[in-house]
Amino acid sequence: MKAAVLHEVNKPLVIEDVSLQKPGPREVLIRTTVAGLCHSDLHFMEGLYPHPLPAVLGHESAGVVEQVGSEVTYVKPGDHVVTCLSVFCGTCDNCSTGRPVLCTDTTVKMLPGVSNRLSWARSEKLNQFLNLSSFAEQMLVHENAIVKIRKDMPLELAALIGCGVVTGYGAVVNTAKVAPGETVVVIGCGGVGMAAINGAQIAGAGRVIAVDTNPAKLQLATKLGATDIVDPRNGDVVQQVRDLTNGGVHHSFEVLGRKETAEQAFAMLAPGGTTTIVGMIPFGQKIELHGFDFLRERKIQGSSMGSNHFRVDMPRLVEFYMRGKLHLDDWISARLKLPEINEGFAAMKAGKTVRSVIVFDA
């Protein structure tokens, strides 16, 4: 099969011939239909997060089951599935207490550097990425890394649910548990930020403030549920939000993964408010907060993949789309072929896209 291989950080991905093993027990072979370009992939491409190389990146995807290994009971060939990097075992302490997104059982999670599933045609091993590696024509994954969906759901839109949508929506609904009528601000209107905005609307937030410097993204945010927009170029972004809300918001969501915006998100809170960090702040970087603010019961927390229970959350998100509540049709900025993948990441880095997707030939 063809796959996009990362050999060195800050170098273009290279399209190469790659081999996969046959499915082992509890493994599923998927024909990749669509793979989204996520900013998380770019973090690894730029070396902001470490990962053994060479590797096949990609983790936001949907496809069709081709083969199943022994002991697989969840899916069969022909099923339509969405992948999720939050593969779970179902029996560890975290899974058993309702936090499968934090599963650390290595019997289902292939650790970086020990993958035996991918290799070049010349038999040298490649590293699998986040248990998926979806920048490839096929994926070999554990059955607990996928969810079945209804076949009338367009796969190119379903792929978005696999990471960006469940992360943004889940941060609002699962991690922060936004209540009807509460005020929300979302800093960063890329794919994940748009999902958080749309999720806040679905959750019944009374006011949803979108923060970005891109006018086109701010305009789309209003279509997805933002009641107010703030452009940091128009002045102190914290003060703008405080002026809009008479002193601060109940919930702020930082989706860019930057030190400055994380600190701004905390500064926007009303007493008792909560900041949820969704973006991937570069590995090793610290953020600074005013200690006094904690005396007014302000809180800051992280969110991993939207604290998802993906086999429950993703089918519900599909239903939200089918009923017109989740506006995925507006998200896709470009449909690309695999050889165009580097152009897609260049457009992402320039801030020109909400989401670009790789569409593989059927």
For the chain, give the secondary structure using H, E and C: CEEEEECCCCCCCEEEEEEECCCCCCEEEEEEEEEECCHHHHHHHCCCCCCCCCEECCCEEEEEEEEECCCCCCCCCCCEEEECCCCCCCCCHHHHCCCHHHCCCCCCCCCCCCCCCEEECCCCECEECCCCCCCECEEEEEHHHEEECCCCCCHHHHHHHHHHHHHHHHHHHHHCCCCCCCEEEEECCCHHHHHHHHHHHHHCCCEEEEECCCHHHHHHHHHHCCCEEECHHHCCHHHHHHHHHCCCEEEEEECCCCHHHHHHHHHCEEEEEEEEECCCCCCCCCCCCCHHHHHHCCEEEECCHHHCCHHHHHHHHHHHHHCCCCCHHHCEEEEECHHHHHHHHHHHHCCCCCEEEEECCC
Active-site residue, 115 included: no
d(CA 338, CA 342): 9
Active-site residue, 142 included: no
Active-site residue, 40 included: yes
Phi-psi sector, 314: left (phi>0), alpha (psi -120 to 50), beta: alpha
Nearest CA among 138, 147, 180, 185 for reference residue 166: 147
| Catalytic one of 39, 59, 142, 250 | 59
d(CA 92, CA 104): 8
Active-site residue, 80 included: no
Active-site residue, 7 included: no
| Catalytic one of 39, 43, 80, 251 | 43
| Catalytic one of 89, 103, 163, 189 | 163
| Catalytic one of 40, 61, 134, 356 | 40
Nearest CA among 297, 300, 316, 298 for reference residue 308: 316
Q: Active-site residue numbers?
A: 38, 40, 43, 59, 163
